[in-house]
Structure 1
């Protein structure tokens, strides 16, 4: 393995260890009762190292799974200018949610864990809004370039709309798990997409 690849692997490992420590502490103590020093100590790193990876303690719990990031990157590269963007995004998010395996895969367990924490911790949910806004800009820029468009307005509106359906489905999924129920994530997402299509259909009030 090359040195750059080895360094990146070590970086990802340290990032994941800090994230796991933050999630463990947030689940046991809550966000307000957990400090950066607590997280750093649990992860076996210094506070200085923590801040090389994350600006806040909340951000440490909001790391997306590397496998999901890789899938998104690949699918952004595969966007086709000749096909409606919304349909492509729905296919993309459908594939991502399939990879979660209803909370059974490594990525699925991580996402479910984070979504459940977000429901209970307003500070974590607010931090997620800020992080999502930053990721949105990069996502829109990539999609706009892939579709060879001069303006990103339509791309931004479409990406935001598709994202709402995903977030609503995941929140419904996490809420059901918290109440002891089990609902199918993919079926919930499909229903959310149908509602989105109904809202945007001609003649809808």
Structure 2
């Protein structure tokens, strides 16, 4: 018989226990979605299938995720918190680069500190690469984050805002992060131990060198 965790007397628990229970249920649903997508593919899996595998109900599923595709991204809360922290830092006076990098490096440090999550991250990466609907959602999520961070940077700058420069800065940092994850995955698939934070710093240095080259050698036209 299915159990609906949200219908249990969880509301009587202290706030900390409720939050832990919420995160556990979210993760169980996400793990169930990942398993089923691997077994049957996205199109061969329904929300009912995911809820049943997780031992809960469709109603509970939709309290956590808007679609079955979204369920595989269990780290959505982490990403949202990173964006929120970066926006807060920029609005408090940090530069776009400082605000975003501080939040992202904290996230990468947490990932490095939890090697038990690495296998799951690789599984998610593989299924996202194999399923166009999941890849489209991942790219859309990234685009939305870029928009949110760009808006925050422009708002913080006020009348002096350079929208193009702000968008370029945010988009470049997003690209560095994506390339970092790609490189970490490449090394992990080869069973090479690597710190995702250190890879990010390597990528950052490479992009900074390119930026200096662009600045010192403007394009010429015949």
- Structures share a fold, TM > 0.5? yes
**Which residue of structure 1 aligns with residue 133 of structure 2?**
123
**Map of 1:149 onto structure 2:** 158
Displacement of 1:118 in angstroms is 2.1
Deviation by residue 1:82-135 (Cα, 9 ceiling, x = unmatched): 6542244334322221111165165x5654443343233333211211222333
* Distance in 1 (alpha carbons) for counterparts of 2:182 and 2:34: 18
Residue segments in structure 2 that go unaligned for 5+ positions in a row: 1-10
Matched, 1:158 2:169: yes
Relative to the length of structure 2, the TM-score reads 0.71
- Counterpart mapping for 1:1-205 below 5 A: 5=15, 9=19, 11-64=22-75, 66=77, 69-70=80-81, 72-79=83-90, 84-101=95-112, 104=115, 111-145=121-155, 147-150=156-159, 151=161, 152-201=163-212, 202-204=215-217
Q: Contact conserved, 2:34 with 2:72, CA < 8 A, in 1? A: yes
Does structure 1 conserve the Cα–Cα contact (< 8 Å) formed by 2:70 and 2:137? Answer: yes
What is the RMSD computed on CA atoms of the aligned residues? 3.4
- Maintained 8 Å contact 1:176/1:183: yes
Give the Cα separation in 1 of the matches to 2:85 and 2:93.
Answer: 18
Distance 1:34 1:180, change over 3 A: farther
Q: Is the alpha carbon distance of 1:38 and 1:2 closer, same or farther for their aligned partners in structure 2, counting shifts above 3 Å? A: closer
Offset, 1:160? 1.2
Task: With the length of structure 1 as denominator, give the TM-score of the two structures.
Answer: 0.76
Unaligned stretches of 5+ residues in structure 1: none
Aligned-residue offset at 1:39: 0.7
Judged with a 3 Å threshold, the aligned counterparts in structure 2 of structure 1 residues 75 and 112 are, in CA distance, closer, same or farther, namely farther
